[in-house]
Amino acid sequence: MPHILQLDASARPGLAGQDPHGSHSRNLTHRFVSQWRARRAQDSLTYRDIGQNPPSFINHDWIASSFTPQEQREPWMQETLAESEQLVDELIAADVLVIGAPLYNFGMPAALKAWIDQIVRPGRTVDINEGNPLDPYVPKLADRPRHAVILSARGGIGFGVGGEMAHMNHLEPNLITALGFIGITQVHLIAIEGQEVGGELLAESVALALSQVDALVAQLQHALQPNRTPEPA
């Protein structure tokens, strides 16, 4: 059965349309997971609200511990990496990674960047092939099909691919690069735009994004169906 890892990175705790100053990205992740489980209640889910409970920033001790071979780590190194180990385990277990991320000042929220820094780990999510300097990195999460769904919200308009402001959008490109580096290359993007404009433009963007989420749920559930052997006649 597929397993979902849901991350919400918005600093806003509520849902747009229900709570004052609620989050549009959280609204999209809620819609995705609700639609998924309405059709496949048996599938499992891990949820992390990193917007309200951000991962730790990496520091000198974390770097020293991460780059020390596991069998050589001292007890304090194991303790330093405990949070990272849990976050990596959650990611490895996931078949579908759902990220709700607003565009903050042209990039991702600091909490989401902290999560990325915690899960890009030598020996866990990427190997270093010292024998091939031209292609030294081996993504470890390419061992089976995994999908990443990035559900974003933007105050302005034109930040999508081909838009007038696309060159200033460093949220999705950064995430695509980091996830691809560790082996997650099947990435799906849906965004709401126009929060600062509001009115009909925002309403239309919300409606379109919600319909795209519903269609994507159906698409991924079909793609992740286990192969079944036809029963004999």
Give the tens place of pLDDT for each residue, 198-219: 899 999 999 999 999 999 999 9
Confidence class of residue 133 from pLDDT cuts 50, 70 and 90?
Answer: confident
- Looking at residue 19, what is its pLDDT? 86
Residue 24 labelled as part of a binding site: yes
Mean pLDDT along residues 70-90: 97
Those residues with Cβ within 8 angstroms of residue 148's Cβ, 6 or more apart along the chain or in another chain? 96, 97, 99, 175, 179, 184, 186, 187, 188
The model's pTM is 0.93
Q: Which residues pair with 96 in a beta bridge?
A: 4, 147
Rg (CA), the chain: 19
Of residues 131 and 94, more confidently modeled = 94
Q: If you average pLDDT over residues 45-69, what whole number do you get?
A: 97
Q: What is the pLDDT of residue 21?
A: 86
What is the C-alpha separation between 156 and 173, in angstroms, rounded?
A: 17
Percent of the chain having pLDDT more than 70? 97
- Phi first, then psi, for residue 8 (nearest 5°) are -115, 125
Average pLDDT over residues 172-185: 97
The pLDDT assigned to 232 comes to 47
The pLDDT of 50-73, averaged and rounded, is 96
The values of phi and psi at residue 219, to 5°, are -65, -45
- pLDDT at residue 132 in the model: 77
Mean pLDDT for all residues in the chain = 94
Using an 8 Å Cβ cutoff, are 95 and 146 in contact? Answer: yes
> Which among 150, 192, 153 is positioned nearest to 173, based on CA atoms?
150
> Alpha-carbon distance 53 to 66, whole Å?
22
Q: Write down the CATH number for the domain with range 3-223.
A: 3.40.50.360
Binning pLDDT at 50, 70 and 90, where does residue 91 land?
very high
Label residue 230 by pLDDT band (50, 70, 90).
Answer: very low
Mean pLDDT to the nearest integer, 12-22: 88
Q: Would you say 23 is a known binding-site residue?
A: yes
Which residue from 142, 161, 144 is spatially nearest to 152, judged by alpha carbons?
Answer: 161
Q: Which of 94, 90, 61 is nearest to 78 (CA)?
A: 61
Can you tell me the distance from the alpha carbon of 13 to that of 74, in angstroms, rounded to the nearest whole number? 38
Residue 88 CB contacts under 8 Å (≥ 6 apart), including other chains: 118, 119, 121, 124, 125
